[in-house]
């Protein structure tokens, strides 16, 4: 193995871990930080702003990677991420903190995308698979450590250290990458769909702004303005994307029913699981007045269950099939949500809630992995990368929309008349979170309906054979 490539992989893994930690730790420290800034109504945006910008930055760095020196591009992503981390650590108010999270998200989108690309270019064959698996493991480690470290840090001013430490570590990763030699990029790559990216940004921000505008008691005209912006922007986005040669969203793939259903599943399932990462800390802190460390331990089973569910798919999918595996996961998720809903009525509610989070994580972890394996098993060799990319794009959209919409609705229902959320009663939070469970149930039913349309088995599992034509609609 090339020693320089091995050193570079360590830099990639370090940077991936930093970005993954910042996407998982905020669920635990969010309520504490937002309360200290007297801006609890904006707490969902601490996750949403990061995930939204990560989603939008992903296609930008993906396109630039084909035309720009990858080492320089990775250094830019690390620098932006470090700058956002420093800004967040020094934030004196919620407004400044959200700006920092936006900057962090833009850099993290580059870290995740360029990390995959660099490992793919530095290694080949079985070694490449090993390195990609190690990168995925960074997410698993961050998912376990994030809630725990967040709980410890939130007990004091230490939450700022979780972001400040990113600066020297990012500088170390940049230095490691300078010694790596990479082949020159392809100068004939298609141009970035700037119009599509701009319109997608407008639509997502408008949709995510609706629950926050309602929660903060803004005039009705602003709600209508946001809704109109989302509808008009969405219409323009569809028109532009269908005419452009290299669209941001590959409509040729979207027309195929397998891709359409799996991508829709990715959006809904990711929205569900990331909503729980926002709602469970609120449920723990506001209903039971638990400290941040306890909140972290109650939240921890969700990502842990996610990992368990993904592993179970690998062991059971062959015998169970896609439809049965996915519906099983949906049922387990439903049991988890039911446990969270009834926990306040029984002794030891936090333990019951933690168990519910574990079940929910197992359920949606298996559902999302089932969808990914279906789209990869059905696609041809030539369309495998594009189909997988579209599926991951759907996951990122769900990651951004779920906490923003459902989290915003929960905070809004609890804090109507109290914009900072500090005077909302326990009964108000119980009503709000129970109302949000209804939204989660509706999304879960949507997941089940999509899974009912899944095949039990792939007709031709051989990936070297073109099992479907991604251009022909169905």
| Residue 268 confidence (pLDDT) above 80 | yes
| pLDDT at residue 208 in the model | 76
Mean pLDDT of 420-438: 65
Q: Which residue has the higher pLDDT, 399 or 366?
A: 366
Triad 372, 193, 403: Cα angle to 5°: 50
Mean pLDDT of 75-101: 90
| pLDDT at residue 335 in the model | 93
| pLDDT at residue 422 in the model | 46
Residue 86 — pLDDT band, cuts 50, 70, 90? very high
Could you tell me if 104 and 85 are in contact, meaning their C-beta atoms sit under 8 angstroms apart? yes
| pLDDT at residue 157 in the model | 54
Express the helix, strand and coil content of the chain in percent, nearest 5 each.
80, 0, 20
| Residue 120 confidence (pLDDT) above 80 | no
| pLDDT at residue 446 in the model | 94
DSSP state string for 77-111 = HHHHHHHHHHHHHT-SSHHHHHHHHHHHHHHHHHH
Two tokens, residue 7? 């050193």
- Report the range of poorest mean pLDDT among 99-113, 146-160, 287-301, 410-424: 410-424
Mean pLDDT of 49-63: 80
Mean pLDDT of 369-390: 74
| pLDDT at residue 392 in the model | 75
pLDDT digits (tens, 9 = 90+) for 269-280: 988 988 887 788
Two tokens, residue 32? 């504490």
Does the pTM surpass 0.75? The reply is: no
Among 148, 156, 120, 149, residue whose Cα is nearest residue 135:
120
Q: Please tell me what DSSP assigns to residue 183.
A: P
| Residue 333 confidence (pLDDT) above 90 | yes
Q: Which residue has the higher pLDDT, 216 or 160?
A: 160
Among 142, 107, 124, residue whose Cα is nearest residue 13:
142
With tokens 């530095």, the residue in question is 122
- The most confident of the ranges 329-333, 347-351, 430-434 is 329-333
Please state, rounded to an integer, the average pLDDT across all residues of the chain.
77
Neighbours of 308 (CB within 10 A): 15
Among 147, 103, 444, residue whose Cα is nearest residue 268:
444
- How many angstroms separate the CA atoms of 261 and 300, rounded? 30
Which whole-number Å values give the CA distances from 62 to 15, 183, 248, 406, 450, in the listed order? 17, 16, 11, 30, 29
Two tokens, residue 294? 């306890």
Could you tell me if 213 and 411 are in contact, meaning their C-beta atoms sit under 8 angstroms apart? no
Handedness of CA 419, 422, 428, 431 (dihedral sign): positive
pLDDT digits (tens, 9 = 90+) for 187-226: 565 677 778 888 888 888 888 777 777 666 667 777 788 8
Which residues have a Cβ under 8 Å from the Cβ of 225 and sit 6 or more positions away? none
DSSP state string for 447-471 = HHHHHHTS-SS-S---TTS--S-TT
- How many angstroms separate the CA atoms of 455 and 317, rounded? 12
Q: 170: helix, coil or strand?
A: helix
Q: Exposure of 195 by Cβ count < 10 A (0-12 exposed, 13-18 middle, 19+ buried)?
A: middle
| Residue 385 confidence (pLDDT) above 70 | no
- How many angstroms separate the CA atoms of 177 and 57, rounded? 21
- The most confident of the ranges 10-24, 146-160, 218-232 is 218-232
């Amino acid at each position: 193995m090339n020693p320089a490539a091995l050193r570079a992989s360590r830099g990639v893994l370090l940077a991936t871990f930093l970005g993954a930690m910042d996407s998982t730790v905020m669920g635990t420290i969010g309520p504490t930080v937002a309360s200290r800034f007297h801006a609890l109504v904006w707490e969902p945006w601490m996750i949403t702003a990061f995930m939204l910008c990560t989603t939008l930055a992903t296609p930008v760095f993906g396109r630039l990677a084909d035309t720009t020196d990858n080492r320089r591009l990775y250094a830019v992503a690390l620098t932006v991420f470090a700058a956002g981390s420093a800004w967040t650590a020094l934030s004196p108010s919620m407004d400044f903190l959200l700006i920092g999270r936006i900057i962090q998200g833009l850099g993290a989108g580059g870290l995740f995308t360029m990390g995959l690309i660099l490992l793919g270019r530095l290694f080949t064959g079985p070694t490449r698979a090993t390195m990609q698996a190690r990168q995925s493991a960074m997410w698993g480690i961050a998912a376990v450590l994030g809630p725990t470290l967040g709980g410890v840090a939130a007990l004091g001013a230490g939450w700022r250290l979780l972001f400040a430490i990113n600066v020297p570590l990012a500088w170390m990763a940049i230095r490691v990458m300078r010694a790596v030699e990479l082949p020159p990029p392809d100068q004939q790559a298609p141009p970035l769909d700037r119009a599509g990216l701009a319109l997608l940004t407008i639509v997502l921000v408008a949709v995510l702004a609706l629950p926050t505008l309602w929660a903060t008691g803004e005039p009705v005209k602003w709600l209508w303005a946001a809704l109109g912006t989302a509808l008009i922007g969405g219409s323009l986005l569809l028109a532009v994307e269908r005419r452009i040669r290299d669209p941001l969203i590959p409509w040729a793939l979207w027309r195929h029913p397998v891709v359409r259903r799996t991508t829709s599943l990715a959006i809904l399932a990711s929205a569900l699981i990331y909503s729980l990462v926002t709602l469970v800390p609120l449920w723990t802190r506001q209903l039971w007045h638990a400290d941040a460390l306890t909140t972290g331990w109650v939240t921890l089973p969700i990502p842990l269950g996610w990992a368990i569910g993904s592993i179970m798919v690998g062991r059971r999918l062959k015998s169970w099939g896609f439809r049965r595996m996915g519906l099983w996961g949906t049922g387990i998720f439903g049991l988890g949500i039911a446990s969270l809903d009834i926990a306040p009525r029984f002794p030891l509610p936090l333990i019951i809630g933690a168990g519910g989070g574990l079940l929910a994580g197992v359920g949606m972890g298996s559902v999302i992995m089932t969808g990914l394996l279906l789209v990869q098993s059905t696609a041809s060799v030539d369309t495998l990368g594009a189909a997988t990319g579209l599926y991951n794009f759907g996951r990122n959209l769900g990651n951004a929309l779920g906490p923003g919409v459902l989290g915003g609705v929960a905070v809004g229902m609890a804090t109507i008349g109290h914009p900072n959320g500090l005077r909302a009663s326990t009964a108000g939070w119980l009503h709000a979170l129970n109302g949000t469970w209804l939204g989660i149930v509706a999304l879960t039913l949507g997941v089940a309906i999509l899974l009912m349309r899944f095949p039990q088995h792939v007709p031709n599992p051989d990936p070297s054979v073109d099992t479907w034509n991604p251009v022909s609609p169905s």
